[in-house]
A = this chain, B = another copy of it.
Amino acid sequence: MTFVIMSRSFTNYLEESQIDMLPSLAEPIAYTLASGGKRIRPRLVLAAYGAYASDTEVVFALARAIEYFHNFSLIHDDIMDDAPLRRGRPSAYGKYGADRAILSGDAMLVYCYRILEEYQDRACYGQLISGFSQMAIGVCEGQQMDMEFEEREIIQRHEYITMISKKTADLLSAALVLGARLASAPEDQLLHWHRMGQLLGVAFQMEDDWLDYYSDHPALGKQKAGDVIQKKKSILYITACEKLDSAERSRFVELYHADLDTKLRLSQVEEIFENLSIREAVRADIEGYKAEITETMKVLSQFANIVALQELADYLAGRKY
């Protein structure tokens, strides 16, 4: 309940915030922000802050900076992925072209720091900036690793986890840790918030990979088995590689990347996944992460009010498509 109220009021704040910048740069930024999304990351900021303090308006600027950073990364990622569409409408790249998307992304990244100036008089300001910058570089590194993986055939599980941790989980951890820090959470409790962000990020991404292949829910709006069609090194692919011996793995890797008729390739991959019980194996991994989330939730509940966080985690875990 608390969460719903906080969230609505933050949404107003976000929509009413002005972007003080040359209009032709502010426009692609506002356009990208208006494309919606579930605002998971600012909600995490609010949840962590709200776990210790009740004057939630104080944390709005931080939540805004985190959401702006996320949208900055979407703008630049869409250029790199050559993706003219996002959420069913033109991406900033598709609508304004690469040059303006690069430049408005750059300006948006810097604007995050301008938003955080709201906290310049606080003792934790330096730590907010350090934490934010560290996260931001991690996200760039994760995106770079993800692009490098496209050029390679075999990816180890630990490499996949490192990539996801940087590309996705670091931002969730930063949302939680910086939110808790702004609420003056004791230093030794921050590592649990950090851990929660990492677990949510990795579980969330693995679930995405699993749903991409095993869900047939129409609301997903994605191509079924899109990862296999695009030859992406999902956790399904990595798990299959782990389960095969050297010779079988070579054949599987070759098949996965072959320029075969897609239908034929899909049916052969499906048979291998079936034989290796990939569905159950990856599901078990995800449930393992979920159990760790529950454990970490218990730890956090000993010193903070985690109602809003629990609600968010349930929401993330409950996606059935």
Q: Which residues of A contact B (CB under 8 A)?
A: 21-22, 24-25, 76, 79-80, 98-100, 102-107, 109-111, 113-114, 117, 120-121, 125-126, 129-130, 133-134, 136-137, 140-141, 143-145, 147-148
B110–A25 contact, CB under 8 A? no
Residues of B within 8 A of A126 (CB): 117, 120-121, 125
Q: In whole Å, how far is A24's beta carbon from the nearest beta carbon of chain B?
A: 6
A107–B21 contact, CB under 8 A? no
- CB-contact partner of A144 in B100, B114, B134, under 8 A: B100
B110–A22 contact, CB under 8 A? no
- CB-contact partner of A22 in B98, B99, B109, B145, under 8 A: B145
Residues of B within 8 A of A102 (CB): 76, 79-80, 102
- Supply 19 A–B pairs (Cβ within 8 Å), ascending by A: A21-B137, A22-B144, A22-B145, A76-B106, A80-B98, A98-B98, A100-B147, A103-B140, A103-B144, A104-B144, A106-B140, A107-B137, A111-B137, A114-B130, A114-B133, A114-B137, A117-B129, A117-B133, A121-B126
Residues of B within 8 A of A24 (CB): 144, 148
Copies in the complex: 2
A109–B107 contact, CB under 8 A? no
Residues of B within 8 A of A25 (CB): 140-141, 144
Bound-state CA distance A104–B140 (Å) is 8
Residues of B within 8 A of A140 (CB): 25, 103-104, 106-107, 110
Q: In whole Å, how far is A145's beta carbon from the nearest beta carbon of chain B?
A: 7
Residues of B within 8 A of A130 (CB): 114, 117, 120
Chain B minimum-CB-distance residue to A20: B137
Bound-state CA distance A137–B108 (Å) is 9
Bound-state CA distance A121–B148 (Å) is 38
Residues of B within 8 A of A103 (CB): 76, 80, 140, 143-144, 147
Chain B minimum-CB-distance residue to A135: B110
Residues of B within 8 A of A120 (CB): 126, 129-130
